[in-house]
Amino acid sequence: MLALRAESGSAVLRDVPRPAAEGESLVRVSLSGICNTDLEIIRGYAGFSGTLGHEFIGVVEESPEAPELIGLRVAGEINAGCGRCERCLSGDPRHCPERTVLGIIGRDGAHAEFLRLPSRNLVTVPDAVADELAVFIEPLAAAIGISEQIEFTPETRVAVIGDGKLGILCARAMRTLTPHTSLIGKHSSKLELAERTGILPIIAGEAAGLKDAFDVVIEASGSESGFAAAVDLVRPRGKIVLKSTFAGKPTWEAWRIVVEEITIVGSRCGRFQPAVDALAAGRIEVADLISEEFRLAEAVKAVAAAGQKGTLKVLLRP
């Protein structure tokens, strides 16, 4: 089968063996989405070498452990835990010390014709959610997942830094919790997408006058400067949520975190079912975030397109 792989700092298309189910479920991928984490992995983040991709929708072809799943459309929780440790037994393998992560740690990913995952990781997707929407389940779950760690009220003042696809999804997810949601970015066309869904757009150069203006600031720019901006924008005893993954090592003014008693929260993966429910109910729009679709055979070209400024979601169809 064809697969898009990270090898020695490059993205390459390879013909690789189709995976065997081996006690897990084999999924034929219908559509996958390229995200910024894929691009950072190619640059060296996480030290991963193998098939990229963790955003997908597909159909189960084999499932020795759960034959009732065969033929169903599914998305997949990307963290595959050991199933034995305390965290896995509690029903949350996201921080299992022995976990593999689809297309990121120790497990080939979704930019391929087939992938395999434990059946317990699979979430069925209703017909009302088209493939082009379902491919957003993973990043939307990550955006909604912020509310697992921080309590929001309708009065909470929230700013999201970064007008890329993750930033817009975070802002749209937060807008369902509080009307006081702003998106800070550099691109007027992307800020217009946010404004259409009731989010206050702020051009990055105008944010300097908003010092201490927000209770919660979500950093989703994928840049070192985003963290510095978050420290300026959050109020004393406010919270900064870090959503971005990138290969560099940022420097920052740690003393300000102490003096202003700021809480820093790392936020990675969210539960899939709330994202499926939000898409099925039409509560959060995602279709307007699709920039382009490529065949899997053109995956290297698709990666180049995904890395261009102004591009939002690039999809791959096997």
Residues 87 and 156 in one domain: no
Residues 237 and 284 in one domain: no
Question: In which order are the strands placed within the sheet that holds 100-102?
Answer: 79-80, 100-102, 106-107
Distance CA 291, CA 311 (A): 6
Residues constituting the chain: 318
Q: What is the pLDDT of residue 46?
A: 86
User: Does residue 246 have a pLDDT over 70?
Assistant: no
Residues 43 and 160 in one domain: no
Which H, E and C letters describe 22-62, residue by residue? Answer: CCCEEEEEEEEEECHHHHHHHHCHHHCCEECCCEEEEEEEE
User: Does residue 291 have a pLDDT over 80?
Assistant: yes
User: What's the rounded mean pLDDT across residues 84-97?
Assistant: 94
- The pLDDT-based confidence of 250 (bands split at 50, 70, 90) is confident
- Rounded to a whole number of angstroms, the CA Rg of the chain reads 19
User: What's the rounded mean pLDDT across residues 128-135?
Assistant: 98
User: Does residue 254 have a pLDDT over 90?
Assistant: no
Global pTM reads: 0.94
User: What's the rounded mean pLDDT across residues 26-39?
Assistant: 96
**Residues above pLDDT 90, as percent of the chain:** 91
CATH at 128: 3.90.180.10
User: Does residue 112 have a pLDDT over 90?
Assistant: yes
SS3 state of residue 199: coil
Please, are residues 184 and 207 in contact by the beta-carbon 8 Å criterion?
yes
Q: What tokens were used for 296?
A: 């899997």
**Domain, as residue range, for 104:** 2-141+269-317
Residues 159 and 34 in one domain: no
Residues 136 and 154 in one domain: no
Residues 48 and 85 in one domain: yes
Average confidence score pLDDT of the chain: 95
Q: What is the pLDDT of residue 102?
A: 98
Q: What is the pLDDT of residue 158?
A: 98
Residues 280 and 262 in one domain: no
Number of compact structural domains in the chain: 2
Q: What is the DSSP string of 82-97?
A: -SSSHHHHTT-GGG-T
User: Does residue 247 have a pLDDT over 70?
Assistant: no
User: What's the rounded mean pLDDT across residues 186-203?
Assistant: 95
| Least reliable range by pLDDT among 20-34, 238-252, 260-274, 285-299 | 238-252
User: What's the rounded mean pLDDT across residues 216-221?
Assistant: 96
Residues 173 and 311 in one domain: no
SS3 state of residue 66: coil
Backbone dihedral angles phi then psi of residue 286, each to the nearest 5 degrees: -135, -20
